[in-house]
Chains A and B, each alone.
Chain A
Amino acid sequence: MRLKWKIFVASLRMFTRQREAIIWTLLLPLFMITLFGFVKFDGMGKLDLGVVNEAGANGNQLIESLKSVKALKVSGGAQDIELAELGKGERDMVLIIPPNFYLGAASQLTVYFNDARPQEVQLGQLVLQRVLDEIVFAQSPPPNRIVLAAVPVKSRNLTYIDFLVPGILSMSIMQMGIFGVAFGFVQLKKRGILRRLWVTPIKPSDFILGQVAMRLLVVLMQICIIIGVGVAFFGLHFMGNFLELFLLGLLGGIVFLSMGFALAGISKSEDQVAPLANVISLPMMLLSGVFFSRNNLPGVIHTITDYFPLTYLADGMRSIAIDGATFAQVGPQFLGLGVWCIISCTIAVKMFRWE
């Protein structure tokens, strides 16, 4: 135990004295958040309109008309769900069609709107009013006009930063695990440092455990610093609890560390390890929903990326950090990473070579 601790302390000392390591694991992620944070990916595209139809068939014609308007993205559901979405900032407006609604009756419709997006909402109200008028005047004789009553709702408006920060955090855990371990151990092998260790009575497992413990501590530091900087400087809407973040981060850390060990096992030099590490990490970096939502990926690729370890980690981190998801809610992510953990540890044990 004492030796494992000493190895841990020495490894941490070496890590913190290595300028490149600090840059790659902490500064680069923060730099990427800054860079992508400046590019505004919000505010483009359609107006999200939620429709709560309590009038059944009587409301359907109105909904069809709304759906034909290109500027609107219409989704429907029960009133409490739609209002909750509005509260989260997922909807710009929610239109309520009451049970007694039918065309021809003089009526008033209530529309709730996100008070933090006045311009979009103003435009949306105009569009809605016009759609209503068109329907009404298409009837003959024209019945009474339907008027809109607008009610502002305080929303928690998630921004691109809220999407980006947990993604970048997950990506930097992956990079630290795969690249840090793969390059670090290939060097130890190549320079004969490991051989020098094996003429002492040290058990290889003691050495590996000390190293793994050090890197898992770095994962915790990454979580604290990246989330902390996100909240302090980028207005991250953090709602999560750190215990969940830590546990998911450690699980993800173990998955990627063991991938690093497997790569170090089959490579003899840095030249061999670099392309392998990139082949594994690049697709995940681009397709696991780190920078952009996976919603726009075509079907098959979307399904495949569902099972990427980085997808589990990024989705889980995001749900915990932004939506305050409970353990039960991120159960699938824990499970997915758990399965990956078994797979990658098994491969690492099989592939790792000391020489």
Chain B
Amino acid sequence: MTDTILEVKNLVKRYGDLVAVNGVSFSVHRQEIFGILGPNGAGKTSTLEMIETLRPIDGGEVSLNGIDVRTKPQEVKRVIGVQLQSSSFFDKLNLKELLLLFGEMYGRVVEPMKLLTQVELDDKVSAQVSELSGGQKQRFSIAAALVNDPVVIFLDEPTTGLDPQARRHLWGVIKQIRSEGKTIVLTTHYMEEAEELCDRVAIMDKGKIIALDPPQELVRQLLARGFTKERIERLASLEDVFLSLTGHSLRED
């Protein structure tokens, strides 16, 4: 048996007549970065929120680290870390106080400095979330998702709205966290993010998974079907131009 940490079978979510998630199945291996790629409204967030215990599961099964999500949501909550799409934190508490408070929710006394160092925010320990830039906020919500030393971390569109530098910086942070033994499940609608970051990608559309493989494999399959781009292959993209002109370093601090 492969080292599967998350097993999703025939997952269904309905909102009235709309079937937002229509029989989705996939499994995620331990210490993998697994991407769910798809346009807005494809059902990515609904899928994640059912796994995260935030939404009732209308059909199918989810097993995380051997725990049935539907029957034992409290146990699942203990072993996962979550960054929500538009997550926000209490005002008027600084980063250190927030991390300590979130740790308490798991009955843990955490070391805020260690967590902040992991996401390269150690110089912002006394700042409030409202004072952070977009990229810093996303990095902080990753730190908050790490307080319980989770086995799986869910990131819902972590880089949406970030500039290229901040996005690349966040990729580095995510890879670093994976190298420390965590499994990461993320959603995105940026192709190049999926290509750069994910070991395997599930492409979702209209509530169904329509392809699931490593990014290179998906490209290979496409070419094998006889696909050719009409335009001439370029050796660099506009983003490469932008980054080469403005530098790779972060500007937010």
Contact = CB atoms under 8 A, between A and B. Distances in A.
Nearest to A11: B90
B154 to A, nearest CB: 9
A13 B93 contact: yes
10 contacts: A2-B107, A3-B104, A3-B107, A6-B104, A13-B97, A191-B88, A196-B82, A200-B106, A201-B78, A201-B106
A17 interface: yes
Counting chain B CB atoms within 10 Å of each CB, the highest count among A6, A18, A198, A199 belongs to A199
Interface string B88-113: 11111100010011101111000000
Interface in B55-114: 74, 77-78, 80, 82, 84, 86-93, 97, 100-102, 104-107
Contacts of A191: 86, 88
Nearest to A15: B92
A202 B77 CA distance: 9
A197 interface: yes
Nearest to A196: B87
B88 A196 contact: yes
A31 B106 CA distance: 44
A307 B133 CA distance: 52
B88 A10 contact: no
Contact of B93 (A2, A10, A200, A201): A10
Chain B contact residues: over half helix, strand or loop, or mixed? loop
B165 interface: no
Q: What 10 A-B pairs have minimum CB-CB distances, sorted nearest first?
A: A200-B105, A17-B92, A191-B88, A199-B82, A14-B92, A202-B105, A6-B104, A201-B77, A196-B87, A10-B101
Nearest to A201: B77
Contacts of B77: 199-201
A6 B93 CA distance: 13
Contacts of B82: 196, 199
B54 interface: yes
Nearest to B91: A14
Nearest to A10: B101
Contacts of B89: 193, 196
A168 B203 CA distance: 62
Contact of B84 (A6, A7, A196): A196
Interface of A: 2-3, 6-7, 10, 13-14, 17-18, 191-193, 195-202
Contacts of B84: 192, 195-196, 199
A201 B54 contact: no
Given A195-B84, A199-B80, A10 B90 contact: yes
Contacts, number: 63
Contacts of B92: 13-14, 17-18
Nearest to A197: B105
B205 to A, nearest CB: 26
Contacts of B80: 199
Contacts of B106: 200-201
Contacts of A18: 91-92
B4 interface: no
Nearest to B148: A200
A198 B148 CA distance: 14
Contacts of B53: 198-199
A200 B73 CA distance: 10
A191 B92 CA distance: 15
Given A192-B86, A196-B88, A2 B104 contact: yes
Given A192-B84, A196-B87, A201-B77, A10 B105 contact: no
Nearest to B75: A201
B52 to A, nearest CB: 5
A197 B54 CA distance: 10
A6 B90 contact: no
B54 A198 contact: yes
Given A199-B80, A199-B82, A10 B87 contact: no
B102 A200 contact: yes
A16 B107 CA distance: 25
Nearest to B52: A199
B40 to A, nearest CB: 18
Contacts of A202: 105
A196 B81 CA distance: 10
Given A13-B93, A13-B97, A14-B93, 18 more contacts: A3-B107, A13-B92, A14-B91, A17-B92, A191-B86, A191-B88, A192-B88, A193-B89, A195-B54, A196-B82, A196-B87, A199-B54, A199-B80, A199-B84, A200-B106, A201-B78, A201-B106, A202-B105
A3 B97 CA distance: 14
Nearest to A207: B105
B77 to A, nearest CB: 5
A200 B87 CA distance: 13
Contacts of B100: 6
Contacts of A14: 90-93
A193 B88 contact: yes
Nearest to A6: B104
Nearest to B88: A191
Interface string B15-29: 000000000000000
A291 B148 CA distance: 53
Nearest to A14: B92
A198 B86 CA distance: 14
Contacts of A192: 84, 86-88
A198 B53 CA distance: 9
Given A14-B93, A192-B84, A201 B101 contact: no
